[in-house]
Each structure stands twice: as structure tokens, then as C-alpha cells.
Amino acid sequence: MQALIAPSILAADFGQLNRDVELINQSAADWFHIDIMDGVFVPNLSFGFPVLEAIRQKAQKPLDVHLMIVQPERYISRFADAGAAVLTVHLEASTHLHRSLQEIKLAGMQAGVAVNPHTPVKSLFDIVHDTDLVCIMSVNPGFGGQKFIEHTYRKVARLAEFREREGLHFKIEIDGGVNQENAAKLVAVGADVLVAGNFVFNSPDPIATVERLKTVAVRDTVNG
């Protein structure tokens, strides 16, 4: 199985956004990963609906939208209208998480739940039956360019084991510090989607970098 690659637009050059969106269109990437930050849930601001809608007009691949905001349920229909194919909310930010996930699906999107590095995987066990995707944060959310947290491998493996035991089919996404050195190991322990920001956009050739990630991010479906 080959993992999906989702370059993070947060690491793009916003002065050359059309150019960078077109780079991803031309690459082997599968999704655009778009982080929405409110300066409250995380100590940073990113962008809102006008930028998301501008990306949608140019993007030729699905938009994977990751909400790092408080009370995300207020905006579910707006993100559907803005073109999100996958909408992920944080477990830590959602008081009524099950309701939010159901509303995301009713709005026609795939429903994702994200967890911060300090949140144990077992916190997901009662909700993953209702998700299409689980995003494991492998850095502290809010800023790009952080160092990958090594404990992520164990979290992914434990979640993948639970998924197999329960006969579930949600995707496991890794967000933060993904590069060519850790991609293969992440996929080997169960990851299905790799979000890569600075590693792609800060490289001399983003298209070739995505291709290298696709090449190494392969899991042997016979032996695990």
C-alpha cells in the first residue's frame, strides 16, 4: 500500500501562492493539507475562508482541511461551501465531538479527528468508529518546521492495532516533521496519509521531493 502525500500549504510562499498550488497540482501529491488556526486554540493565526476559496479555485486535488480552532462546529457548513473534502477537528477543542463528526458527514465531507502529542491514543477508542480519518500530531500544533516527536511511532502502532482488531477502516494521518527519513517507518507502523510542509516547499525541487516521499512511503500489505 502506498501512502497518500498531503503537502501543507502553511509552508508555501504566500507571495507566490498560485505558483505553489500549481506545483502541487503537477506533483504526485494526493491532497492539499490546509491548516486553519485561530490564535486561541493554537498560538498562531493562519488564514480563513477567502484564502481557502482561492486555493479551491486553482487546486486539482482534494482539500484536506485541519481546524486548529475553538468551537469548530460553528463553521462546518462554511467549510463545506468553501470546498473542503476532508474536515478534521481536534478532540481537545470539541465539547460535543460525536455531534460535530456527524454534522461534517451530513455536510458531505469526510470527518476527521486530530489529537495533540500529549493526548493518549486510548482517548480515541470511543470515537474512531465514527471517523474517516485520525490525524496524529507529531509536533505541537501551531507552527511549521518543528522537530518530529519520536513517541509518534508508538501512538500510530497502537492505533493501527486497534483499527485492525475492531475491523475499522479510518485513515491514520501524520502531521508534523515528516520527511524522507521517517516516512517509511511511519507507513510501516500503520500511517496512511503523510502531511509534509517545510520538507516539500523548502526543497530545491518540490515536485521531485513529493515523488521521493511517494516512493519510500509504501507498506508491505502481506507482511504488515
Alpha helices (H) in the chain, listed in sequence order: 17-26, 49-58, 76-81, 97-106, 152-166, 183-188, 198-201, 206-216
Give residue 36's pLDDT. Answer: 95
Average pLDDT, rounded, for the chain: 94
Is 22 or 141 the better-scoring residue by pLDDT? 22
Kindly state whether residue 178 falls inside one of the protein's structural domains: yes
Confidence of residue 143 (pLDDT cuts 50, 70, 90): low
At residue 147, the pLDDT reads 84
pLDDT digits (tens, 9 = 90+) for 106-115: 999 999 999 9
Choosing from 20, 132, 175, 192, which is the catalytic residue? 175
- Say if 179 falls within a structural domain: yes
Find the Cα–Cα–Cα–Cα dihedral 214, 61, 202, 53, rounded to 10°: -160
The predicted-structure confidence for 32-68, as pLDDT tens digits, reads as follows 999 999 989 988 888 889 999 999 999 999 999 999 9
78-91 pLDDT tens trace: 999 999 999 999 99
pLDDT of residue 138: 95
- What are the cell numbers at 187? 507507513
- State the helix-helix crossing angle for 17-26 and 206-216, rounded to 10 degrees: 40
156 has pLDDT over 70:
yes
64 is catalytic: no
Q: How many domains does the chain have?
A: 1
Q: Note the pLDDT of residue 144.
A: 62
Does the annotation mark 35 as catalytic? yes
Q: Which residues pair with 141 in a beta bridge?
A: none
The answer to whether position 42 is within a domain reads yes
221 occurs within a structural domain: no
Is 43 part of any domain? Answer: yes
CATH number of the domain at 88, please: 3.20.20.70
pLDDT of residue 141: 76
- pLDDT given for residue 142 in this prediction: 67
pLDDT band, residue 194 (cuts 50/70/90): very high
Out of 30, 35, 64, 192, pick the active-site residue. Answer: 35
Instruction: Identify whether 19 is part of a domain.
Output: yes
Rounded distance, CA 156 to CA 136, Å? 7
Q: Would 223 be classed as within a structural domain?
A: no
| Average pLDDT estimate for 7-24 | 94
State residue 47's pLDDT score.
87
Rg over alpha carbons for the chain, rounded to the nearest Å, is 16
Residue 224 placed within a domain? no
Which domain range does residue 61 map to? 4-216
> What number is the average pLDDT over the span 194-214?
95
